[in-house]
Amino acid sequence: MRVHDFVMPVGPQSPAIKEPILLKVCLEGEEVQKVRMVTGYTHRGIEYLLEGKNPDQALYVASRVCGICSITHERAYVRTVENILGYDAPERVKAIRTVLFELERMQSHLLWAGFMMHEIGLETLFNYFWREREKVLDCFEKITGGRVHHNINKIRTLRYDMEEEDPEFILQQVRSVARKTRDYYNDCMKEEVVVSRLKNVGTIPKSMALEWGLTGPIARASGVRIDTRKIDPYDWYSRIDFEMAAGKRGDALERLKVRLTEVMESARIVERVLSGLPDEKIPPHSLSRVEGEGHARVEAPRGELFYYLRFKNNRVERAKIRTPSFSYMKILEELLPGMVVGDVPVIVASLDPCFSCLERVLVEKNGRVEELREKEFRRKYSCPG
């Protein structure tokens, strides 16, 4: 028996990974020799669930692809359908959508930051970050009535308009969140132990980020300046000038910097949008009839989210969702070898993977739907790893 035949399972239920995947970590002492990743624990067949539904019904399914970025999936779906319809939403609708989008980015990054602090054992900052997140959730509750799932986006319009007093409340909250986030950011950068736990851990060089097709904060932390809000603007992003947070080293510390900077930048975007919120009525909702196919992408908190939809007889005939986590689901097998056990949760957390989003190995070929296990899928479709 070789020494690294000692296998430590991380997951599928582990405090290191908040979503169910299994990492079979082969160890030699404390050092990781090899990692084998097993997925498939949260496969819900969500694309299949979308099929056969009319455009308005499918929206509710789309919003449930992810529990953290519900608005993002709604928006990506709606953008795709509106692209097919060739519809340009009124300015107020676009503005409110932008606000919601940035609020979602803030809450997702704050949730992640708290989780990251928990992984390195700094429970106090974990509590502080999550306390700030609650303020963002209060904003959501004020606008949409929901804190996690919102269902506010509708095709061509929104379910609810903002009340008169809402912008003031949101501004107050996001300013407070941005101020506190700046304080915590400075605390993290000053705390030597935090820096030593994150610096040069899970480094993804720029070339590797490009090779794997990474997007979002992970790519930006590696120096790849890519952001769908800049390269393919939608809603009010073309009207607003904002900074793209980017790093160089591509390690866990850079990812922390990028995400916390994005929280502060999102707060600024919300302020700018709300200061110029058009005073008009949003159009009433009406059932849509959609035919044809289309695609769209949006910048989710984790990176580029892509939707492809094909409608036939006003029903979804085919849906394909590519979530940002999909591109880096297998990168763990490359990042972890050579690191110590203590770095495993830090690296996994620093990527902020969302497995319930990405587990969708359902393939349609020649009109026949086949459901594949992860192993079969990788072999058949030459998935990296």
Partner 1 sequence: MPWLNLVLWVASPFLAVLADGVYRKVIARMQSRRGPPVVQPFYDLRKLWAKKRIPTKNDWFFMISPFMYCTTLFVGLMLVPFQVISFPYDFIFLLYVTVLSSAFYVLAGISSDSPYGMLASMREMRLMIIYETALAAAIISFVVYSSTITLAGIKDLSILGLVPSAVALIAVALVESKVTQFDTGAAESEILPGVSTEYSGRSLFFLDLGEMLKRFFFISLLSSLFAGGNLLFWIVSFVILFMAMAYSDATTPRFTLHTTVWYVLAAFFVAVIDLMRVLWVGSWA
Query: Where does this chain touch partner 1 (CB under 8 A) — which range of 98-106, 126-134, 227-235, 276-284?
Result: 126-134
Among 289, 342, 371, 375, binds partner 1 (CB under 8 A): 342
19, two tokens = 């979503």
CB of 27 to partner 1, least distance (A): 8
Specify the residue for token string 């072999």.
Answer: 379
CB of 94 to partner 1, least distance (A): 38
What is the crossing angle of helices 91-119 and 123-144, to 10°?
Answer: 160
Q: Which is nearer to partner 1, 339 or 357 (CB)?
A: 339
8-state DSSP, 341: G
State whether the Cα torsion 256-257-258-262 is positive or negative: positive
Among 4, 14, 38, 56, binds partner 1 (CB under 8 A): 14
Q: Are 158 and 282 in contact (CB under 8 A)?
A: yes
Query: Where does this chain touch partner 1 (CB under 8 A) — which range of 59-67, 212-220, 278-286, 339-347?
Result: 339-347
Q: Is 381 in the site for partner 1 (CB under 8 A)?
A: no
Residue-by-residue DSSP string for 4-21: GGEEEEE-SSBTTBSS--
Q: Is 121 in the site for partner 1 (CB under 8 A)?
A: yes
CB of 345 to partner 1, least distance (A): 4
Q: Are 66 and 107 in contact (CB under 8 A)?
A: no
Q: Is 276 in the site for partner 1 (CB under 8 A)?
A: no
How many residues in the shown chain lie near partner 1 by CB under 8 A? 32
Give the three-class secondary structure for 208.
helix
Q: Is 122 in the site for partner 1 (CB under 8 A)?
A: yes
Greatest alpha-carbon span in the chain = 73
Among 269, 344, 354, 362, binds partner 1 (CB under 8 A): 344
Among 8, 148, 231, 369, binds partner 1 (CB under 8 A): 8
CB of 85 to partner 1, least distance (A): 47
Say if strands 153-154 and 157-158 run parallel, antiparallel, or are unpaired: antiparallel
Q: What is the Cα–Cα distance from 219 to 206, expressed in whole angstroms? A: 8
Q: What is the Cα–Cα distance from 354 to 217, expressed in whole angstroms? A: 14
Q: Which of 109, 107, 130, 108 is nearest to 118 (CA)?
A: 130
CB of 185 to partner 1, least distance (A): 15
State whether the Cα torsion 200-181-14-63 is positive or negative: negative
Q: Is 380 in the site for partner 1 (CB under 8 A)?
A: no
Binding mask 169-198 for partner 1 (x = CB under 8 A): ----------------------x-xx-xx-
Q: Is 3 in the site for partner 1 (CB under 8 A)?
A: no
Q: Which is nearer to partner 1, 292 or 342 (CB)?
A: 342
Residues numbered 45-64 forming contacts with partner 1, rule: CB under 8 A: none
Q: What is the Cα–Cα distance from 46 to 354, expressed in whole angstroms? A: 14
Q: What is the Cα–Cα distance from 166 to 123, expressed in whole angstroms? A: 33
Q: Is 15 in the site for partner 1 (CB under 8 A)?
A: yes
Kindly list the residues in this chain that would bind partner 1 in the complex (CB under 8 A).
Answer: 6-9, 14-16, 27, 29-30, 117-124, 127-128, 131, 191, 193-194, 196-197, 340-345
